[in-house]
């Protein structure tokens, strides 16, 4: 697939409450339309949905990640979108050819009645992040995992265990139950790499449990998550040449599952990012982790123009 000439990808733009079977779907449809109503109504009259994608529940990668890699012209498979390798490339980091890159994120696991829920309790300060990295480093080095700073609470790591290993995106599990993603209890069913990473996860849980970083935190950082694995293609094209924009600023508002939080943030993105892209006849992909809708402005026939005047287009209709 060749890189798309102009594509704006907006992650976390489709609320989970828009799902067909969601009990508050009507409320969320109205919330989406309230956000869109803050723009000139004519913005939506020529916009049409081109394609809709729904990933299976078993998908490892998030919709916006797969779309971004495909728009870059990369052939990728589920669970191996090379986000960590791309970030390392951008930072000028290198690793041996037998190694692969991954993200390691500090997260919170809440375990109740046999269910495990994962969240990323923000904010995480740089001092907290550096302290946890220093504590983890000796354990990781014993298993040949080299770790580098990335963002507060997120580190870049390279090791042979990450080479060709499919991982579950943090954006697929953040704010969700993760029972289905945890490896089976039977060690015999796990690969050597899975056993190693599961052991490290357990060790980091014990390490974090008593770490001083958590003494002053309202929500503890009590586990880690590995993600972002995958190999970069031999020829890596800069994003500035592919004209792909990936907007991820709605993550926290989307995770809130609260229309009063989501609508103002979404309205700002519509105003600053989506509307200008549509006005330039660019394609806009609105996503949540498992669904996406591709929008683009298209010319109207006179009959379509009359219909649009009689029945103005609503954003909720375009993305439903």
Contact present, 295 and 278 (Cβ < 8 Å): yes
pLDDT tens string for the chain (320 positions)? Answer: 444 468 999 999 999 888 878 888 888 899 888 888 888 877 888 888 999 999 999 999 999 999 999 888 888 999 999 999 999 999 999 999 999 999 999 999 998 888 899 999 999 999 999 999 999 999 999 999 999 999 999 999 999 999 999 999 999 999 999 988 886 655 567 788 888 999 999 999 999 999 999 998 999 999 999 999 999 987 766 444 568 899 999 999 999 999 999 999 999 999 999 999 998 888 999 999 999 999 998 765 555 555 555 566 788 888 87
Whole-number pLDDT of residue 157? 98
Tokens 């697929």 locate to: 172
pLDDT for res 4: 44
pLDDT given for residue 2 in this prediction: 47
**Whole-model pTM?**
0.90
Cis peptide before 123 (omega within 30 of 0): yes
Predicted confidence at residue 151, as pLDDT, reads 97
What gap in Å lies between CA 320 and CA 312, rounded to an integer?
16
Q: For residue 238, what pLDDT is reported?
A: 47
The two beta strands, 7-10 and 154-159, are unpaired
As a whole number of angstroms, the distance between CA 86 and CA 123 comes to 24
Q: Closest by alpha carbon to 128, among 104, 146, 152?
A: 152
pLDDT number for residue 316: 86
The reported pLDDT for the residue numbered 291 is: 95
Q: What is the pLDDT of residue 265?
A: 95
Q: What is the 3-state secondary structure (H, E, C) of 225-284?
A: EEECCCCCCCCCCCHHHHCEEEECCCHHHHHHCCHHHHHHHHHHHHHHHHHHHHHCCCEE
Q: What does the alpha-carbon distance between residue 257 and residue 175 come to, in Å, rounded to a whole number?
A: 10
42-89 pLDDT, tens digit each: 788 888 899 999 999 999 999 999 999 988 888 899 999 999 999 999
């Amino acid at each position: 697939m060749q890189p798309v000439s102009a594509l704006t990808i907006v992650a976390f733009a489709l609320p989970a409450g828009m799902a067909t079977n969601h009990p508050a779907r009507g409320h969320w449809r109205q919330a989406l339309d309230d956000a869109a109503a803050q723009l000139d109504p004519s913005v939506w009259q020529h916009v049409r949905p081109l394609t809709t994608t729904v990933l299976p529940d078993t998908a490892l990668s998030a919709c916006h990640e797969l779309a971004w890699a495909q728009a870059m012209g990369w052939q990728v498979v589920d669970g191996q979108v090379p986000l960590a390798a791309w970030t390392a490339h951008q930072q000028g980091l290198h690793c041996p050819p037998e190694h692969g890159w991954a993200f390691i994120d500090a997260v919170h696991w809440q375990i109740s009645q046999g269910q495990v829920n994962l969240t990323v309790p923000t904010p995480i300060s740089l001092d907290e992040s550096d302290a946890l990295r220093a504590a983890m480093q000796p354990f990781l080095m014993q298993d040949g995992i080299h770790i580098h700073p990335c963002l507060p609470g997120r580190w870049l790591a390279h090791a042979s265990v990450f080479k060709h290993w499919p991982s579950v995106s943090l954006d697929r599990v953040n704010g969700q139950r993760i029972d289905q993603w945890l490896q089976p209890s039977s060690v015999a069913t796990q690969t050597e790499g899975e056993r190693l990473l599961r052991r490290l996860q357990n060790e980091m849980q014990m390490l974090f449990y008593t770490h001083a970083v958590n003494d002053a935190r309202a929500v503890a950082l009590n586990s880690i998550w590995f993600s972002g694995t995958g190999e970069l293609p031999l020829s890596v094209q800069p994003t500035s040449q592919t004209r792909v924009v990936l907007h991820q600023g709605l993550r926290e508002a989307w995770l809130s599952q609260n229309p009063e939080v989501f609508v103002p943030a979404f309205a700002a993105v519509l105003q600053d990012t989506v509307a200008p892209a549509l006005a330039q006849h660019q394609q806009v992909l609105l996503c949540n982790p498992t669904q996406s809708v591709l929008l683009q402005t298209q010319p109207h026939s006179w009959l379509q123009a009359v219909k649009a005047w009689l029945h103005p287009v609503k954003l909720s209709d375009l993305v439903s």
